Amino acid sequence: MDPAALSAKPPLTLLVAAPRGFCAGVDRAIRIVELAIERYGAPVYVRHEIVHNRYVVDSLKAKGAIFVEELDEVPDDVPVVFSAHGVPKAVPRKAEERGLSYIDATCPLVSKVHRQAERAHEAGRHIIFVGHAGHPEVIGTFGQLPDGAMTLVETVEDVATIEVADPTSLSFLTQTTLSVDDTADIVAALQARYPAIVAPKGEDICYATSNRQAAVKAIANECQLVLVIGAPNSSNSLRLAEVAQRMGARGELIQRAVDIDWSWFDGATTVGLTAGASAPELLVREVVTAIAERFTVDERQVETATEDMVFKLPRGLEPATAA
The residue among 278, 282, 283, 202 whose CA lies nearest residue 23 is 278
Determine what percent of the chain falls in helix, strand and coil, rounding each to the nearest 5.
40, 20, 40
What residues contact residue 139 under an 8 Å CB cut-off, 6+ apart?
88
Topology adopted by domain 24-104 = Rossmann fold (3.40.50)
Q: Cβ(253)–Cβ(264) under 8 Å?
A: no
pLDDT at 283: 98
DSSP secondary structure letter of residue 124: T
pLDDT at 323: 39
pLDDT in tens, 186-243: 999 999 999 999 999 877 899 999 999 999 999 999 999 999 999 999 999 999 999 9
CATH of 108-193, one of 3.40.1010.20, 3.40.1280.10, 3.40.1170.60, 3.50.50.60: 3.40.1010.20
pLDDT at 34: 97
Alpha-carbon distance of 181 to 152, in angstroms, equals: 18
Alpha-carbon distance of 106 to 312, in angstroms, equals: 12
Alpha-carbon distance of 186 to 84, in angstroms, equals: 25
Q: Which CATH architecture has domain 3-22+207-303?
A: 3-Layer(aba) Sandwich (3.40)
pLDDT in tens, 73-113: 999 989 999 999 999 999 999 999 999 999 999 999 999 99
pLDDT at 320: 57
On the question of a common fold for 3-22+207-303 and 24-104, the answer reads no
Which among 97, 137, 203, 318 is annotated as catalytic? 137
The domain locations on the chain are 3-22+207-303, 24-104, 108-193
What residues contact residue 313 under an 8 Å CB cut-off, 6+ apart?
28, 31, 32, 35, 319
- Res. 1: pLDDT tops 50: no
pTM for the model stands at 0.92
The residue among 291, 296, 298 whose CA lies nearest residue 9 is 296
Q: Higher confidence at residue 19 or residue 319?
A: 19
122 is catalytic: no
- Mean pLDDT for the stretch of residues 104-126: 97
